């Protein structure tokens, strides 16, 4: 009936080290905790005697119609929690009428995922040193009907995820980033004492030298809309718009990158103001209910992304449970809109909440 039930059940089903990888944050996990707590600081300001008999929460994003302004956040290696992996996740997203941002580290091929669903798909990328690999992935995504690229910009190096270090976390060889060549993924499977193979792998493969100017190169290899994910300040939102991005995702990577970073809910209003309506602004981090979605929309988000809860639902039962979780968020948003006297997405403005 709610995300927390999925969390409790998933925790019993998933191996402990995998659970730590998914649940964990970086450092002292302050930002991880703060993302969720940020929602508790907001209360709703309901309006009454409003005609709510016709409510509409469908929206359009990059040419696709969505049942709700909700999408599946990019998260890696879904086969860690379900044998069908991203194919089941994407099917669940399709059943719920929302979009799915597929990770560059998906454990099913981009084409298999696309064939399994009519959900709008976007592809998330890390900027690999091997640019020709990025170009090839962007081309494959376009050919398979993906509708946007989402470049993660908060991960020049991986955050210090102490749980993974403690567990010497490495991926079982049966679960691979199948969209990348084997030689690009080897180290992620090499278990080491007191080290995260994922952090070592990122250190080997990610380009730490890229700057705003490099976005132009990505534009030369793909005509798909380009979003940047991991923006937390007005300054960077302005730079993103100046560099012509098509969308911004306010994100601190679910508290997995810079520990101590501002919560996404707190960063959202300044980013929205800086973007000034020139591109859509999405947000992720700590969204667990339809009410949370409502609060994010009131603070100016055009849509939200949901990460960990989708993995919990996936672990509990594949596509049907993913669809149920996303449906719950959708129905919860609709219900909140009814009781708050805000029957349309446009009517959910900043006066709908108080801090």
Under rule CB under 6 A, residue 123 binds ligand GLV: no
Under rule CB under 6 A, residue 308 binds ligand GLV: no
Q: Which whole-number Å values give the CA distances from 257 to 91, 121, 224, 262, 307, in the listed order? A: 29, 25, 27, 11, 15
Non-local (6+) Cβ contacts of 293 within 8 A are: 68, 69, 70, 287, 304, 329, 332, 333, 336
Active site residue 253: yes
Nearest Cα to Cα of residue 153 among 203, 215, 106:
215
With residue 325 as reference, give the H or E element that holds it.
helix 308-340
Provide, rounded to whole angstroms, the least separation between the CB of residue 155 and ligand GLV: 6
Closer Cβ to ligand GLV, 104 or 226, answer by number: 104
Residues that contact ligand GLV, how many (by CB under 6 A): 3
CA geometry: angle at 148 spanning 119 and 32, to 5°?
A: 85
Three-state secondary structure of 160-224 = CCHHHHHHCCCCCCCCCCCCCCHHHCHHHHCCCCCCCHHHHHHHHHECCCCCHHHHHHHHHHCCC
Closer Cβ to ligand GLV, 68 or 231, answer by number: 231
Provide, rounded to whole angstroms, the least separation between the CB of residue 76 and ligand GLV: 5
For residue 245, what is the DSSP state? -
Under rule CB under 6 A, residue 76 binds ligand GLV: yes
String marking each residue 135-174 x if it binds ligand GLV according to CB under 6 A: ----------------------------------------
Segment 237-256, which members bind ligand GLV (CB under 6 A)?
A: 253, 256
Catalytic option among 78, 82, 100, 253? 253
Under rule CB under 6 A, residue 78 binds ligand GLV: no
Provide, rounded to whole angstroms, the least separation between the CB of residue 103 and ligand GLV: 7
CA distance 199 to 122: 24
Under rule CB under 6 A, residue 79 binds ligand GLV: no
Helices and strands of the chain, counted as H and E runs = 13, 12
Under rule CB under 6 A, residue 218 binds ligand GLV: no
Query: Hey, what's the torsion of the CAs at 225, 229, 233, 234, to 10 degrees?
Result: 10
Closer Cβ to ligand GLV, 255 or 280, answer by number: 255
Q: Which residue is nearest to ligand GLV (CB)?
A: 256
Closer Cβ to ligand GLV, 52 or 283, answer by number: 283
Closer Cβ to ligand GLV, 100 or 256, answer by number: 256
CB 278 within 8 A of CB 257: no
The β-bridge partners of 206 are 128
Provide, rounded to whole angstroms, the least separation between the CB of residue 256 and ligand GLV: 4
Provide, rounded to whole angstroms, the least separation between the CB of residue 294 and ligand GLV: 26
CA distance 172 to 160: 21
CB 223 within 8 A of CB 204: no
Closer Cβ to ligand GLV, 196 or 336, answer by number: 196
Provide, rounded to whole angstroms, the least separation between the CB of residue 238 and ligand GLV: 26
Under rule CB under 6 A, residue 3 binds ligand GLV: no
The residues binding ligand GLV (CB under 6 A) are 76, 253, 256
Write out the catalytic residue numbers.
253
């Amino acid at each position: 009936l709610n995300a927390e039930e999925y969390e409790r059940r998933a925790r019993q089903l998933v191996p402990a080290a995998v659970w730590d990888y998914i649940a964990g944050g970086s450092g002292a996990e302050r930002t991880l905790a703060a993302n969720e707590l940020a929602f508790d600081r907001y209360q709703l300001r309901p309006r009454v005697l409003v005609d709510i008999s016709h409510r509409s929460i469908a929206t359009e994003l990059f040419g696709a119609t969505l049942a709700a302004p909700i999408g599946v956040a990019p998260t890696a290696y879904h086969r860690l929690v379900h044998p069908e992996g991203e194919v089941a996740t994407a099917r669940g997203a399709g059943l719920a009428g929302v979009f799915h941002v597929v990770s560059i580290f998906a454990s099913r091929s981009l084409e298999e995922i696309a064939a399994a669903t009519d959900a709008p798909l976007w592809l998330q990328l890390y900027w690999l040193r091997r640019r020709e690999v990025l170009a090839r992935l962007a081309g494959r995504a376009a050919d398979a009907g993906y509708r946007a690229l989402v470049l993660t910009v908060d991960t020049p190096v991986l955050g210090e995820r102490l749980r993974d270090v403690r567990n010497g976390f490495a991926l079982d060889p049966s679960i691979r980033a199948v969209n990348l060549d084997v030689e690009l993924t080897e180290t992620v499977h090499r278990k080491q004492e007191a080290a995260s193979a994922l952090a070592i792998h990122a250190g080997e493969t990610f380009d730490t030298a890229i700057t705003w100017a490099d976005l132009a190169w990505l534009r030369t290899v793909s005509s798909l809309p380009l979003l940047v994910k991991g923006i937390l300040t007005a300054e960077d939102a302005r730079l993103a718009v100046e560099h012509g991005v098509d969308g911004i995702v306010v994100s601190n990577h679910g508290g997995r990158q810079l520990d101590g970073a501002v919560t996404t809910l707190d960063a959202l209003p300044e980013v929205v103001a800086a973007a000034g309506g020139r591109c859509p602004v999405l947000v992720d981090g700590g969204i667990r209910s339809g009410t949370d979605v409502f609060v994010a929309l009131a603070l100016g988000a055009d849509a939200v992304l949901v990460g960990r809860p989708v993995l919990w639902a996936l672990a509990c039962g594949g596509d049907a449970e993913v669809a149920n979780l996303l449906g719950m968020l959708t129905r919860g948003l609709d219900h909140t809109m009814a009781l708050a006297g805000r029957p349309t997405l446009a009517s959910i403005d900043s006066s709908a909440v108080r801090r």
